[in-house]
């Protein structure tokens, strides 16, 4: 099988060498440069990458992806779309050839979107950017997705291929909001774009716009994925919290719990709200409910705070303020075991020990 990598690039010089090394298992690598002013193009060409330049105006991610896809030769069997801030773990090509079947059209594989301070995956889910050449095109101006027009897709899932994401935190997201607004305008019934737009308004502190947009998402006929519906409800609650409308925030978190009771996230968000309100008994209640959930589903919806030290940190604090000093010490030790670099947790532990010594005497 002929396997070709394709990507878009703009001012990614710092990532080029690492990325090309990671992609070397492919038969060829193609890049569409959309206007780099650094040394990206020269560096890519020096490493044997096929590079073409094209300015996309007005800018849309789907148009750029489709133009980069056009660079691939017609005899390509498998297309591998990546970004230059992504790295495949070695051996991906061999696994790809083993799991790709005769009628496969697309592959779903493991993606580590972010890492914690200890280097452990913080947000992990499946992505599906490896695909057959025929029948696929990218759609949506931002948060673009692959669409298939040749009937039913045949998707294979594997955990044996992993991509790690190491983004440039200095890069601006400034284009995302207008592109998301355009995406919703182009397809008002698309639930995914509406959810992303509401989330983006929340990121910008546009609380009322976020609330209206996310409620709109929940009313769309296509908005049936409970995990995403739960996230919209949680984001609505965050906005009401920022507006200091705490009863409405609680109401929406209760709705989120009812929508997806199998997820930790709405319980932890409720505990975080109650922490803000210093309702220590409620913090403890919702943290313990969250810990009853053991299944960590692999979707982008998952919040890192639901699976790191946060729950134990909250439990330690809530027990401390309720006078349950031994339990507070137990939970802070559990939090430190997960994140031993957190100095605040260590300071909390020292304060808890002082309180314990006083109470013991």
pLDDT, tens digit, 9 for 90 and up, residues 303-321: 999 999 999 999 999 999 9
Distance between CA atoms of 223 and 217, rounded to whole angstroms? 7
Give the range among 11-25, 170-184, 343-357 with minimum mean pLDDT.
170-184
Give the range among 224-228, 255-259, 295-299 with minimum mean pLDDT.
295-299
Domains and CATH numbers, the chain: 3-165 (3.90.550.10)
pLDDT, tens digit, 9 for 90 and up, residues 206-237: 999 999 999 999 999 999 999 999 999 999 99
Quote the tokens at residue 275. 């922490």
Give 145's contacts (C-beta < 8 A, 6+ positions apart). Answer: 138, 139, 192
Mean pLDDT of 77-102: 97
* pLDDT number for residue 174: 81
Residue 168 pLDDT exceeds 90: no
* pLDDT number for residue 360: 78
Residue 281 pLDDT exceeds 90: yes
Nearest-CA neighbor of 299 among 248, 225, 220? 225
* pLDDT number for residue 117: 86
Q: Look at strands 145-148 and 136-139 and give their pairing.
A: antiparallel
* pLDDT number for residue 20: 98
The DSSP code for 304 is: G
Mean pLDDT of 176-201: 97
DSSP β-bridge partners for residue 86: 165
Q: Is the peptide bond prior to 298 cis by the omega test (within 30 degrees of 0)?
A: no
Taking CB atoms within 8 Å and a gap of at least 24, the contacts of 165-169 are 165/83, 165/85, 165/86, 165/111, 165/112, 165/113, 165/114, 166/15, 166/85, 166/86, 166/87, 167/85, 167/114, 168/14, 168/15, 168/85
* pLDDT number for residue 334: 98
What backbone torsions phi and psi does residue 59 show, to the nearest 5 degrees? -70, 130
* pLDDT number for residue 138: 98
pLDDT, tens digit, 9 for 90 and up, residues 32-65: 999 999 999 999 999 999 999 999 999 999 999 9
DSSP string, 62-92: HHHHHHHHTTS-TT-SEEEE--TTEEEPTTH
pLDDT band at 172 (very low <50, low <70, confident <90, very high): confident
Residue 170 pLDDT exceeds 90: no
* Mean pLDDT of the chain, nearest integer: 96
* pLDDT number for residue 11: 96
* pLDDT number for residue 261: 97
Residue 348 pLDDT exceeds 80: yes
* pLDDT number for residue 359: 80
Mean pLDDT of 229-247: 98
Residue 361 pLDDT exceeds 80: no
* pLDDT number for residue 270: 98
Quote the tokens at residue 126. 């499946």
This prediction's pTM = 0.94
Q: In a 10 Å sphere around its CB, with 0-12 CB exposed, 13-18 middle and 19+ buried, how is residue 266 labelled?
A: buried
Asked if residues 181 and 197 have their Cβ atoms less than 8 Å apart, the reply is: yes
Residue 9 pLDDT exceeds 90: yes
Mean pLDDT of 140-158: 96
pLDDT band at 171 (very low <50, low <70, confident <90, very high): confident
Mean pLDDT of 160-182: 92
What backbone torsions phi and psi does residue 264 show, to the nearest 5 degrees? -70, -30
Mean pLDDT of 151-161: 97
């Amino acid at each position: 099988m002929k396997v070709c990598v394709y990507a878009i690039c703009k001012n990614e010089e710092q990532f080029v060498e690492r990325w090309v090394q990671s992609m070397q298992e492919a038969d060829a690598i193609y890049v569409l440069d959309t206007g780099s002013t650094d040394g990206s193009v020269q560096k890519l060409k020096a490493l044997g990458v096929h590079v073409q330049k094209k300015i996309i105006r007005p800018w849309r991610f789907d148009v750029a992806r489709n133009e980069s896809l056009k660079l691939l030769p017609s005899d390509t069997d498998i297309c591998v779309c990546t970004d230059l801030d992504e790295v495949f773990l070695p051996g991906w090509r061999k696994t790809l050839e083993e799991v790709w079947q005769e009628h496969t059209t697309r592959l779903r594989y493991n993606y580590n979107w972010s890492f914690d301070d200890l280097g452990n995956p913080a947000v992990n889910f499946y992505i599906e950017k490896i695909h057959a050449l025929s029948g696929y095109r990218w759609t949506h101006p931002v948060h673009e997705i692959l669409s298939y027009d040749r009937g039913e897709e045949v998707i294979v899932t594997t955990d044996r291929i992993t991509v790690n994401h190491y983004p440039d935190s200095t890069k601006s997201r400034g284009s995302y909001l207008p592109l998301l607004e355009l995406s919703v305008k182009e397809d008002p019934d698309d639930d995914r774009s509406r959810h992303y737009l509401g989330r983006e308004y929340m990121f910008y502190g546009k609380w009322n716009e976020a609330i209206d947009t996310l409620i709109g998402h929940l009313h769309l006929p296509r908005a049936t994925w409970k995990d995403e519906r739960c996230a919209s409800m949680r984001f609505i609650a965050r906005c009401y919290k920022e507006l200091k409308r705490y009863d409405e925030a609680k109401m929406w978190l209760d709705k989120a719990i009812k929508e997806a009771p199998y997820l930790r996230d709405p319980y932890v968000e409720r505990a975080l709200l109650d922490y803000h309100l210093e309702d220590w008994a409620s913090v403890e209640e919702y943290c313990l409910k969250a810990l009853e959930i053991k299944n960590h589903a692999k979707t982008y919806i998952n919040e890192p705070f639901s699976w790191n030290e946060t729950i134990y940190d909250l439990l330690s604090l809530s027990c401390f303020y309720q006078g349950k000093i031994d339990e507070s010490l137990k939970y802070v030790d559990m939090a430190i075991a997960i994140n031993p670099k957190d100095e605040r947790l260590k300071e909390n532990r020292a304060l808890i020990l002082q309180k314990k010594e006083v109470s013991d005497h």
